[in-house]
Chains A and B, each alone.
Chain A
Amino acid sequence: MTLPGGLTRRDVLMKIGILFNGAVAAILAVPIVRYLLSPVAHERKGGYEAWVPLGNLEQFPSGQTRLATYRNPVVNPTDGETADIACWVRNVDGQTFQVFAINCAHLGCPVRWFPQSSLFMCPCHGGAYYQDGSRASGPPERGLFEYHYRIENGKLLIRAGEMPTPGRASNIVREIRPCA
């Protein structure tokens, strides 16, 4: 059977078949794309951050900078030790604190604190920071990432949950102004 325009019945059926498959593909694409984008959707909906305790205040003597670790608030059973995150806690004067991310603001390597020279140094590309986290030298464009903190019942808590990176730092931590 040939329809007007030279189309046969089978041509039409084949085109309908292709259209049908296209429609099914479009329907299936919705759950597939949502599945793939779930890490982004999670952040946009609830966020990954929560207040986590770093320990009692006595662990952080006044005037000193100490390493602290915490368990990431969002944990999966397969995470193992990768959910344990380190950070640097600076007790400025017994009242005020600064909590710095372990990640260098350049490319995320773990910075080390040298109390003798009061510097944070990065082993990867040689970034250095002063004790207040501001940039001292090297390739970083800015100071160390700093967590928000609060003190509750003699414990130090920080708002953490996302690995700080140069691109999304503004979401979670405040910028440290370079010191004069």
Chain B
Amino acid sequence: MRLIQSIGEWLDARLQLGASIRETAEHPVPRETASWFYVFGSAAFVVFMLQIVTGIMLAFIYVPSAGEAWSSLQTLNHNVSLGWYIRALHGWGSDFMVAIVLIHMVQVFLFGAYKYPRELTWIVGVFLLIVTLGMAFTGQVLRFDQDAYWGLGIGASIASRVPLMGPWIVNLMLGGPIIAGATLSRFFALHVFVVPGLLIAFVAVHLLMVLKLGINEWPMPGRVVRKATYIKDYHELTRKDGVPFVPGAIWKDLFFAAFILLSIAACAYYFGPFGPSGPPDPTIIQTAPRPDYFFLWLYAVLSFLPPSMETPALLIGPVVVILALVLLPFFFGEGEKSWRRRPIAVLAILLTAVALGTFTHLAEHTPWSPVMDAWSGDPIPSEFLHNRSALERQGALVFQVKQCHNCHSLGDQGGKRGPALDAVAVRLTQDQLIRQVIQGGGNMPAYGKNLSPAETTALVAFLETLHPAGQSPARDASRAVALGTDAGAPPSTHQ
């Protein structure tokens, strides 16, 4: 013990850091901030440390070459002992880091911590969010599999839409004309040098400001921030009712950080590493690329935006969001901090959460994508074929063979791109069905050139059987009159 102490004294006599570290550790913070709500920033920092350590370990084995990256990931997964676990820790660490950074941001927003004098802390925090998402995206590229390859294609397609500069930006992003070796090398450089460098720099500034300006006090309704008096009030608060950061507040940070690390370790152990999926061979086209969890909402938005809105939304949307976040403290730098007196702030968070949650949920089910193998893999449920005429069953065959099932479901099987057809005969008359099949419309391709008249007749005959047992199919009342048949008779399907 005495030896350790004397070594410590020897070092401190030369480094001269002890006093300032002690002062920093023991600086008083407002008593209520020693709270479980104030642990997310330090947890994000600890997860970032984990990412640095596991990232360096992965770099021992990983080969950033388009021809070899995928097989080096297989080596990590299968041939290096516990290589799979380090990959899993890094992958789950990234998901946890994005989640904790977002939770930290929500907490800071709801507690009004971006107000005077912490505006710059908030702005650097916004940059930290962008940089964290940048790490997540570039990291996904380094897992150089099919999803990474086509994900880069999506990125290039978005970048190419920038007016005038688009094609140049694509070339710069890909490092050449196609997604290839140069692309992976530059994303490796970004993920391992450039973006982490920015991240470390921003974290340093962010932390420095937290120390210099003090931790945001617990917001009380009615305790209004005014530039003229805030700093004096804050110092009075910490002097009268403060606790030293160590150990008054830090024990909660320590517990939470350890809990998060344990959760990451457990997830990594139980769920294992992410991928890699199939090899990044562009000639294998039997693939349905999907982004990682945190970009799923974007994937959903891209399929729902009307075509004319897409380019403006993609190019202007992010700028507007980032500008709004950066400018927030300049417009609302004073006033109430408590969420109890800031209903619009609470609503904004709820709206964002509901929107992101809904889009993510939709992206997990991709109702807009055709089910590519429904026509050959999902049979028509037998109740739709029972007691049907030969022509109607022939129509069911046309329904399968012409891939209608890829976009339309029957009995909950098949695609959800178009409407379910379980009761289509109630909605559309025979004439309307024929017109819809032949001419398409309403986002459905026209099949006029791909169906013979006999096939169309059979298909429509089948579609007209699709109605609930007790409900009669839709019919055109004027048709019976025009054709001179009995107006009361059900519309004929056999002509």
Contacts and interface: CB of A to CB of B under 8 A. Distances in A.
A167 B170 contact: yes
Nearest to B450: A118
Nearest to B406: A121
A100 interface: no
B65 interface: yes
A110 interface: yes
Contact of A48 (B66, B177, B280, B375): B177
Contacts of A95: none
Nearest to B166: A167
A80 interface: yes
Interface class of chain B by DSSP:
loop
A24 interface: no
A110 B310 contact: no
A88 to B, nearest CB: 9
Contact of A165 (B149, B160, B406): B160
Given A76-B180, A80-B68, A168 B170 contact: yes
Contact of A37 (B172, B176, B287, B407): B172
B156 A78 contact: no
Nearest to B71: A80
Interface class of chain A by DSSP:
loop
B259 interface: no
A89 B449 CA distance: 20
Contacts of B288: 123-124
Contact of B372 (A112, A116, A165, A171): A112
Contact of A117 (B177, B180, B299, B447): B447
Nearest to B403: A117
B279 A141 contact: no
Contact of B177 (A43, A78, A86): A43
Given A78-B182, A121-B406, A163-B153, 14 more contacts: A39-B174, A48-B176, A48-B177, A72-B178, A80-B65, A86-B282, A102-B285, A107-B154, A116-B401, A122-B369, A137-B443, A137-B445, A138-B368, A166-B311
B302 interface: yes
B440 to A, nearest CB: 7
Interface in A131-145: 136-141
A97 interface: no
21 contacts: A74-B177, A74-B178, A75-B180, A78-B66, A82-B67, A108-B150, A111-B285, A112-B285, A116-B375, A117-B450, A124-B150, A125-B303, A126-B303, A140-B307, A163-B178, A165-B156, A165-B160, A167-B159, A167-B161, A167-B162, A168-B170
The range of chain A's interface size is 35 or more
B185 interface: yes
Given A78-B181, A81-B279, A139 B160 contact: no
Interface of B: 65-68, 149-150, 153-154, 156-162, 166-168, 170-172, 174-185, 279-283, 285-289, 299, 302-303, 305, 307-308, 310-311, 368-370, 372, 375, 401-404, 406-407, 417, 440, 443-447, 449-450
A163 B177 contact: yes
Contact of B444 (A69, A79, A137): A137
Contacts of A90: none
B153 A86 contact: no
A49 to B, nearest CB: 8
Contacts of B174: 39, 163
B268 to A, nearest CB: 29
**Residue picked from A106, A107, A118, most chain B C-beta under 10 Å:** A107
A45 to B, nearest CB: 12
B307 A74 contact: no
A84 interface: yes
A110 B368 contact: no
Nearest to A123: B288
A128 interface: yes
Nearest to A78: B181
A168 B281 CA distance: 23
Given A78-B65, A116-B403, A124-B369, A85 B443 contact: no
A-B interface, 3 closest residue pairs, ranked by CB to CB distance from nearest: A80-B67, A167-B160, A167-B166
A78 B159 CA distance: 24
A82 B180 contact: yes
B181 A76 contact: yes
A158 interface: no
A122 B299 CA distance: 14
A26 B216 CA distance: 44
A79 B181 contact: yes
B179 A82 contact: yes
A117 B449 CA distance: 9
Interface in A48-100: 48, 67, 69, 72, 74-86
B66 A79 contact: yes
A40 B372 CA distance: 37
B178 A85 contact: yes
Contacts of A14: none
